[in-house]
Structure 1
């Protein structure tokens, strides 16, 4: 439920109750102006705002819980992983593909995992297994992510990736598969419209690699947390992520230097495989 739908629903509930806006606003501890803005989708209500309005209207606890949860989701634009799993994780891949088709520039920062667009099938499977999906859902989601990777060969797009060195060393799959994953990253980095950079551990850092995020055309930031996917669209907040990406991009290795680092780590994995 978006802001407009939530505002209209709150207004409809108030009208149906027969209560005047001024009376509801007073009981909800807010100005009539604020209530009007919420009802007309000019202001997104917080979960607390929604709860106070609904209490003032006098709805049932069940209705109050439903719309308070909707307000919480609308305000943060967060979708819990359990909900995505319920509707089908593969549909999340379809939604991401649609977003990527519409954008011209992607900037992705990843301090923990190889970015999805760069992952090998084996790496994808290892990552997705943590969701406890059925084999059918797992296969469909893997195929969806592989289909998304076609964007890597679209010369009309500008794709910029910044990952940290631990990403290259984190053992998601066995050593031989990790070596193959690193080969893929190095190979894709040679595409003219793809820029892949690695922040090495040896460089003094001025920022904190808090979590992964994706910026699409300076208009939207997608963040994956432990419990949910969060979408940020406020320009002021988006700019914070753009600045953070650029700070890491400036200190990261690119081109031949980046590929030399990857090759060294890849060779370590291969030697481990040979002696294992």
Structure 2
């Protein structure tokens, strides 16, 4: 089933239900224009779009499972960062908040930056302020929206797992004092009962390559961060590849008190470096 066939099938299901497009779009939290473009094959829906449309239509679980499988098989989306920025970075954060509200399991692998859900406001500002084309208002809105997203950390109905490589914690993309505060934040969050933070140490032999950052939500979708775009993968076979990669790094990472001791050591190194500078 291609994009056009999927759109036609969704329209047929809606018509069979007797529900008007506007009502379905409203329940699916999208514009009527977007729904129309999906139904006519002009826009490739994400798996999440299809899930919300089918829920709004009210199909049976069997029908939903059938069409979700088809949606995941055809939906690999790439959205350029410039388009995400043009639409509003704070709006992107709000969309992620809504997605995370519906998930039960999150896995994040980060070899470049501290994951957004674990960032301090100072770290966020330092990262965002490196982009000269972002206004102060945009930076403030994005920080506020990301902090709001972080409330998911305290929802004990969800499991959140983070694997970070050690260079992330040592690379001075931000000043040492900002990084030291960020490490304190990681230690604090790691003590939450539903949050698992692990660090892959530099000194341990590895059998895999830390290619790029990615996020897995409920074994259903993977968001991959590349230099120019955000790619969403939903084919179950591809999702499984990322799950295996995440679990492999998790097995080679330190956790609990060992992880906290490593972070404390790095923090002390950063503070000494600041004093000697």
What TM-score results when the alignment is normalised by the length of structure 2? Answer: 0.73
How far the C-alpha of 1:273 sits from its partner, in A, is: 2.2
**Kindly tell me: are residues 175 and 234 of structure 1, through their superposed partners in 2, closer, same or farther at Cα, counting changes over 3 Å?**
same
Higher relative contact order (CA 8 A, sep 6+): 2
Tell me the equivalent position of 1:99.
99
Q: CA deviation at 1:129?
A: 2.5
Match of 2:146 in 1: 145
| Structure label with greater radius of gyration | 1
Q: State the shift of 1:176 in Å.
A: 1.1
Residue 248 (structure 1) aligns with: 249
Q: CA deviation at 1:86?
A: 1.3
What is the distance in 2 between the residues matched to 1:225 and 1:261? Answer: 28
Structure 1 position 183 matched with structure 2 position 184: yes
CA distance in 1, matches of 2:220, 2:276: 49
Contact 1:122 1:173 in 2 (8 A): no
**Residue-by-residue CA offset, 1:215-249 (whole Å, 9 max, x unaligned):** 00000000111111100000000000000000000
1:217–1:6 distance in 2 versus 1, CA, 3 Å: closer
In structure 1, distance between residues paired with 2:141 and 2:105: 27
Give the 5 Å matches for 1:131-210. 131=131, 132-210=133-211
Q: Deviations over 1:106-132 (max 9, x none)?
A: 000001110001101111112223442
Aligned to 1:110: 110
Change (3 A) 1:103 1:75: closer
The gaps in structure 1 that reach 5 residues or longer are 9-38, 45-73
Describe the SS at the equivalent of 1:271: helix
TM-score between both structures, scaled by the size of structure 1: 0.73
Q: Give structure 2 stretches of 5+ with no counterpart.
A: 9-38, 45-73
Instruction: Output the CA distance in 1 between the equivalents of 2:126 and 2:213.
Output: 18
SS in 1 for 2:187: helix
SS in structure 2 opposite 1:191? coil
Post-superposition offset of 1:4 = 4.1
Distance 2:165 2:87 in 1: 32
Alignment pair present for 1:119 and 2:119: yes
Secondary structure in 2 matching 1:264: helix
Residue in 2 that maps onto 1:70 = none
Cα distance in structure 2, aligned partners of 1:237 and 1:228: 18
1:5 CA drift (Å): 8.6
| 3-state SS in 2 of match to 1:77 | strand
In the comparison of the two structures, how many residue pairs are matched? 214
Q: Is the 8 A contact 2:75 2:233 kept in 1?
A: no
Contact 2:75–2:235, Cα closer than 8 Å, also in 1: no
**Shift, 1:3, TM fit:** 2.4
Question: For 1:235 and 1:125, how far apart are their aligned partners in 2?
Answer: 36
| Bigger shift: residues 126-135 or 169-178 | 126-135
User: Match for residue 61 of structure 1?
Assistant: none
Q: Does the CA contact (< 8 Å) of 1:123 and 1:172 recur in 2?
A: no
- Does the 8 A contact of 1:105 with 1:216 survive in 2? yes
Give 3-state SS (helix, strand or coil) of 1:229's partner.
strand
